[in-house]
Amino acid sequence: MGELQHENATEALLTRHGAPRPASDWAENARRAARARMLALGAAGRRDEYWRYTNPAVLNAPEAPEAEILQLDEAPVFDGFDKLLITFVDGVYQPDLSDDLSGEGLEVSLLDEALDMDIHWAGELFGVLEAKGQHPVPRPFAALNTALAGQGVVIRATGKVSRPVALRYCRSELRSDVLIHHVIRVEAGAELTILENGAGAARLNTCMEVDVAEGGSFHHLRAQGRDHARLANTHIFARLGAESHFKSFTLTVNGALTRNEVVIDINGDNTKASVAGASLGDGDFLHDDTIFITHDAQGCESRQVFKKVLKNGATGVFQGKILVQPDAQKTDGYQISQALLMDDDSNFLAKPELEIYADDVACSHGSTCGAVDENALFYLMSRGVPRSEAQNMMIIAFLDEAIQEIENQAMADDIRSRLIGWAERHSA
């Protein structure tokens, strides 16, 4: 009986989005395989080890909740930067709101078009990195995404791409329930920056598969919009070749539920990976970072830097793992997750994990939560800084270790100004 219900719930998920535009055989095979994976995994449930802190019920529900669309009173994040803009409204590509899909050192196409063609490299990635990322931790919403997503971009960087590719996710419907899937390949020695901005949907499920070849460099910066009631479950699956660089930073302010999953496989020697995030929530807010980094090569460095500011009953979740395989000697793994609790109603749940099978490694992890340091607050105030401003200075200071993970200083400053904006809007 229970089994059957579970199966029905999974079936229901697979029917709630409608079918994407049919694609060529290889892509349809990949989708079918994802569907089978999804059925085998079953829907996410509270009993699953990595869904204990975050209740997936609202993500499993037949319909997306109604989420009011926030009218921005400021320029969008990354607005001031030269970029190749690609706009989706309610998860649908908008040619008239997008730039030409071309650029130096760059091949860009839309997912549904790419899946209908015979693009060799895309066939080796689409659904492949996602499938690999299902072990040992199941990620049913990612399989669902591969099985049913019809929108997204397929990008190949062949050289140093100077302009970032900016994916903008806008909203027009209150209850949009959206799947977006991106496939990205950074060729050997190539460089690519991807920006993502916007809430995108009342319920957004994104999946980004990223393959970085030897010596390639991939930077990802994301701001998840400011809409309050929206839900998001995002996935990044990355495979990193030797001497490559990978950096991903996410800014999350507001949102009833956000679950950001990042799965990184470090496959080549002397690679550097960093995943970082700053999230700020006030009231009805749950933010979950679930990270899994596998070191399967020598001399690699990985960093996880996550900071959360929580107030008025907001909840933060961090589940971060570093797995060091037996041959991954000289691994340098760093992980820190911290929450600043602005009151007693807010809480932070952390599950930091290290699993190490090599003997010559340096891994450190730390997880803390606490209130604003009263001594520091008094020190600032004793110099004439009013309490709310002093508190905001402390908030920004607390978050800065995560912001420092961003390589581009101008973009880091843009993010900083957003943090200040949030802190000012939400100061007591």
- Return the percent helix, strand and coil in the chain, to nearest 5: 25, 40, 35
Among 9, 58, 137, 380, binds other proteins (CB under 8 A): 380
The pair of structure tokens assigned to 68 is 């009011």
- For other proteins, the binding residues in 394-413 under the rule CB under 8 A are 394, 396-401
Q: Which is nearer to other proteins, 113 or 389 (CB)?
A: 389
CB-CB neighbours of 65 under 10 Å: 16
Per CB under 8 A, 107 contacts other proteins: no
Residue 233 CA: distances (Å) to CA of 141, 252, 286, 350: 8, 12, 12, 18
Q: Which of 29, 104, 378, 417 binds other proteins (CB under 8 A)?
A: 378
The least distance separating other proteins from the CB of residue 370, rounded to whole angstroms, comes to 13
Q: Is 385 in the site for other proteins (CB under 8 A)?
A: yes
Q: According to CB under 8 A, which one of 9, 381, 412, 420 is a site residue for other proteins?
A: 381
Beta bridge partners of 398: none
Q: For residues 17 and 307, which CB has a smaller minimum distance to other proteins in the complex?
A: 307
In terms of C-beta density within 10 A (0-12 exposed, 13-18 middle, 19 or more buried), how is residue 299 classed? middle
To other proteins, the closest distance from the beta carbon of 340 in angstroms equals: 11
Residue 180 has phi, psi (to 5 degrees) of -135, 135
- CA gap 311, 344 in Å, rounded: 8
Q: Which of 25, 73, 100, 374 binds other proteins (CB under 8 A)?
A: 374
Shortest Å distance, C-beta 113 to other proteins: 46
Cβ distance to other proteins smaller for residue 28 or 401: 401
428 binds other proteins (CB under 8 A): no
Establish if 387 lies at the interface with other proteins (CB under 8 A).
yes
Q: Shortest approach of other proteins to residue 405 CB, angstroms?
A: 14
Please, which residue, 194 or 399, has the CB nearer to other proteins? 399
DSSP for 361-421, written as a single string = -EEEEEEEEE---HHHHHHHHHTT--HHHHHHHHHHHHHHHHHTT-S-HHHHHHHHHHHHH
Q: Which of 13, 131, 390, 415 binds other proteins (CB under 8 A)?
A: 390
Residue 302 beta carbon to other proteins: minimum distance, rounded to whole angstroms: 23
400 exposure class (CB count in 10 Å sphere: 0-12, 13-18, 19+)? middle
Separation CA 266–CA 275 (nearest Å): 13
By CB under 8 A, name the binding residues for other proteins. Answer: 373-376, 378-387, 389-390, 393-394, 396-401
